């Protein structure tokens, strides 16, 4: 949310999503977190990083 509002928070959202997907692949099952599922939201209101 802060990322989409343009508020700097020190978190690289794209890298966080990559890490979440890597963790999912390493354990071999979907994880409970929502970051990788939702992905980054573009300004048109749809997820940009699904997959």
Domain residue extents for the chain? 2-38
- Per-residue pLDDT at 24: 93
Whole-angstrom distance, CA of residue 41 vs CA of residue 39: 6
Q: Mean pLDDT, consecutive 10-residue segments, the chain of 51 residues?
A: 82 89 94 80 57 52
Q: Which pTM does this prediction carry?
A: 0.62
- Per-residue pLDDT at 13: 85
The SS3 call for residue 42 is: coil
Q: For the chain, how far is it from start to end, CA to CA, in angstroms?
A: 20
Whole-angstrom distance, CA of residue 29 vs CA of residue 8: 32
């Amino acid at each position: 949310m802060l990322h989409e509002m343009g508020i700097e928070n020190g978190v690289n959202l794209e890298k966080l999503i990559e890490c979440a997907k890597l963790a999912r692949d390493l354990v071999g099952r979907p994880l409970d977190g929502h970051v990788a599922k939702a992905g980054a939201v573009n300004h048109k209101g749809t997820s940009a990083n699904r997959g």
